Structure 1
Amino acid sequence: MSQRITVIDYGMGNLRSVAKAVEHVASAQDEVLVTDDPELILNSDRVVFPGQGAARDCMAAISGHHLNRAVLEAANSKPFLGICMGQQVLLEQSEENGGTELLGLFAGQVRHFPGGVAPDGEALKIPHMGWNRVNRQTDHPLWQGIDQDSRFYFVHSYYVDPQQQDLIAATTDYGVSFASAIARENLFAVQFHPEKSADDGLRLLKNFVNWNQ
């Protein structure tokens, strides 16, 4: 059966790479649509919410495209995948710029990495950029076929700190142990970039496309 998979376009994020990766793992009958139309988003079967950049700019772009309600309704009603900033803005507030209000779907803060020193004695650079291990905390369907401690690609200076610990679907260590994936019912969101994470990233996207939650 064919389905429409919508990638939300609010002017920020690596949208084409995400859309191409989703097209690669979707069936030939599926439609992958990049759009900022709230009606199309809410009439889709699945929604991907990517993003990158600064939290304040991201929130301004979401509001400017009149997408606040559509994002929240989609996150509460259909299979929904948040990527990078698309994970962070689901929380209440970011430490960026002395405090930036976010969408507030989940209680919690988005915090700046403290820096520090890696086990090998090297200084931890901010942003956290490159490949790092993801330690699954749940047996979520989106992890199917992905080994424990598989490596995914990250680019970020902030990380989510949800108030509800049972939201955490995976953790990653970078000076601190942080939530690199969160999940609830129909929603899954990751800090890393599956579209840049080789075979395991494509497997996660394929699992999302086929997810019957």
Structure 2
Amino acid sequence: MRVVVIDYNGGNLASAAQAARKAASLSDISADVTITRDADAILNADRLILPGQGAFADCAAGLGADLRSTLETATANGTPFLGICVGMQLMCEYGLEHGRTEGLGWIPGHIRRMDEAADAGLRLPHMGWNTLDFEPGAHLLTKGLTPGMHGYFVHSYALHDGAADDLVASANYGAQVPAIVARGNRCGTQFHVEKSQSVGLTIMGNFLRWEK
């Protein structure tokens, strides 16, 4: 299996790649995991992972027009895609961090500051372990997990006005925060799967086995 971690000058690339390798090993999957922005490698990959760390606008700028086009072609052809943290946020229509920035437009909704959490007296960023709420068996990504297990979050902005059908799991932090979304062969986690220990490795393994 050819797994490509998208290199777009973002953070957490090496740790995401290492998590994919470990999840593949635990799942008895033979996987070649590389970090690259090479168009041919992306178009010929069996799985695509887009980590994200930092501001929405900066991560979007790192993609650039060429990489956006390559990702669009690859995923439109059915290659499973996993966005992590800002990588998940980039799947939406636009983000409002440091002004309006267009996303990939793969799912409805936009990214804005978690004002509900601030209004409730909670600190931003939402940082640390939080429970995941989901319907068991509703999506392959949560196979082997039970509601109430924890993911590791670090973010001050979140998806708002998304589609209910895209929501796989949520977490509560002053309001319900989309934690896992999926539409077709494209999915994303707001929390860092590469930092979420056994829960993250389970989700990563499920993604490597995911067929659409």
The residue type equivalent to 2:68 in the other structure is N
Paired position in structure 1 for 2:99 = 98
- Deviation string 1:152-185 (CA, Å, 9 cap, x unpaired) is 0000110012442211111111111121111112
Query: Contact 1:74/1:80 (CA < 8 Å) preserved in 2?
Result: no
Count of aligned pairs: 205
Query: Contact 2:167/2:181 (CA < 8 Å) preserved in 1?
Result: yes
Q: Which runs of 4+ in 1 moved over 3 A?
A: none
Paired position in structure 2 for 1:67 = 67
Paired position in structure 1 for 2:119 = 116
Paired position in structure 2 for 1:56 = 57
Paired position in structure 2 for 1:150 = 149
User: Please, what is the CA RMSD of the aligned residues?
Assistant: 1.5
> What is the CA–CA distance in structure 2 between the aligned matches of 1:73 and 1:136, rounded to whole Å?
31
Q: Pick from 23, 29, 49: which aligns with 1:25? A: 23
- Deviation string 1:74-99 (CA, Å, 9 cap, x unpaired) is 33321111100111011111121232
Paired position in structure 1 for 2:202 = 203
Secondary structure at 1:67's aligned position in 2?
helix
Quick check: 1:44 aligned with 2:45? yes
> What is the CA–CA distance in structure 2 between the aligned matches of 1:28 and 1:116, rounded to whole Å?
45
- Deviation string 1:177-208 (CA, Å, 9 cap, x unpaired) is 12111111212211001110011111111111
Give the deviation of 1:104 after TM superposition.
1.7
Query: Contact 1:6/1:48 (CA < 8 Å) preserved in 2?
Result: yes
TM-score (norm 1): 0.91
Give the deviation of 1:133 after TM superposition.
0.8
| Structure 1 residues not aligned, in runs of 5+ | 118-122
Paired position in structure 1 for 2:83 = 82
> What is the CA–CA distance in structure 2 between the aligned matches of 1:50 and 1:128, rounded to whole Å?
18
| Structure 2 residues not aligned, in runs of 5+ | none
Give the deviation of 1:71 after TM superposition.
1.9
The residue type equivalent to 1:63 in the other structure is G
> What is the CA–CA distance in structure 1 between the aligned matches of 2:82 and 2:162, rounded to whole Å?
20
TM-score (norm 2): 0.91
Paired position in structure 2 for 1:176 = 175
Paired position in structure 2 for 1:159 = 158
The residue type equivalent to 2:11 in the other structure is G
Paired position in structure 2 for 1:140 = 139
Q: Percent identity?
A: 40
Give the deviation of 1:29 after TM superposition.
2.9
Query: Contact 1:72/1:105 (CA < 8 Å) preserved in 2?
Result: no
Tell me: CA distance 1:161–1:177, structure 2 relative to 1, closer, same or farther (3 Å): same
Give the deviation of 1:28 after TM superposition.
6.4
The residue type equivalent to 2:153 in the other structure is F
> What is the CA–CA distance in structure 1 between the aligned matches of 2:15 and 2:162, rounded to whole Å?
32
- Deviation string 1:132-161 (CA, Å, 9 cap, x unpaired) is 011114611111111112110000110012
Query: Contact 1:106/1:162 (CA < 8 Å) preserved in 2?
Result: no
Quick check: 1:128 aligned with 2:126? yes
Give the deviation of 1:73 after TM superposition.
2.5
